[in-house]
Amino acid sequence: MNHSSPPQLIIVASNDNETLDLVPRRDLSASLPESFITNYVHWYNHQSGIVEFRPVESAWCSSDSSWFLEDTGSERVLKRPGQTLICPTSPATNHICRTLRSLEEETHIHLILDNGTSMLNIHLPRLQLDFSIEQGSSRVHCRQFRGMYVDKVQQIGTLVGFQSKLTLRDSNNKRMILVPDGNVHYSGIPGHVQVGVVYGSSTMAACRVSFA
């Protein structure tokens, strides 16, 4: 009996200057955000050895603003002019993602470094929320709520069993919490109940806001 792998369809695009192979989505790194896999078509360039990420609506057109996956020898880096995508599991950003997991799962958190200013921009596209960290600062500022940043103390003295909340604070020590508007799930453990909002179920452009 022949146990060899079934044949695979290989799509190749070429012109006078270059030859491109279509990279199957299943071959891309699981560390990439989900939208960078599903919302793009990925072409491997034989001449440069680089994979270009093109939006699905312009799969046949190259652009200077495209994302390019480069192999530096020690790692693969996804870049476009002026910006670099940062892996959410890197030691420098892992603690940020752990905090934001209260609102969103890691595969839908985009960490993008501005190469010119060294500012780290953090996008949660499904919740339409954006955060940023300036060079030399440890504060994670929320762009939708001016002057507010992620509080190092996330406990608020209530809603103890509720998992899907993010506490913000301003320079006057005014605090607020962000809660996604979505489907609720709960689980019970001995002597305690945990409640949260299902990832990806929020139907609002932004999160509901409660003040504390």
Report whether 162 contacts 196 (CB < 8 A). yes
Instruction: Give the contacts of 152 (CB within 8 A, at least 6 positions apart).
Output: none
Give residue-wise pLDDT tens across range 62-83: 888 999 999 877 788 999 999 9
Confidence at residue 81, expressed as pLDDT on a 0 to 100 scale:
94
Give residue-wise pLDDT tens across range 119-131: 999 999 999 999 9
Q: 3-class SS at 27? A: helix
| Residue boundaries of the structural domains of the chain | 12-81, 94-211
Report whether 90 contacts 68 (CB < 8 A). no
Report whether 123 contacts 112 (CB < 8 A). yes
Q: Which of 23, 15, 75 is nearest to 52 (CA)?
A: 23
Question: E strands along the chain, which residues?
Answer: 12-14, 19-22, 40-45, 51-55, 67-71, 76-80, 83-85, 110-114, 120-124, 129-133, 141-142, 149-150, 166-169, 175-179, 184-189, 192-197, 208-211
pTM of the model: 0.85
What percent of the chain is predicted at pLDDT more than 90? 54
What average pLDDT is seen over the chain? 87
Question: Would you give the distance in Å from CA 5 to the centre of its chain?
Answer: 34
Confidence at residue 28, expressed as pLDDT on a 0 to 100 scale:
85
For residues 88 and 106, give the distance between their C-alpha atoms in angstroms, rounded to a whole number: 7
pLDDT beyond 60 at 205: no
Give residue-wise pLDDT tens across range 16-57: 788 899 999 888 877 799 999 999 999 999 999 999 999 999
More confident residue, 3 or 172: 172
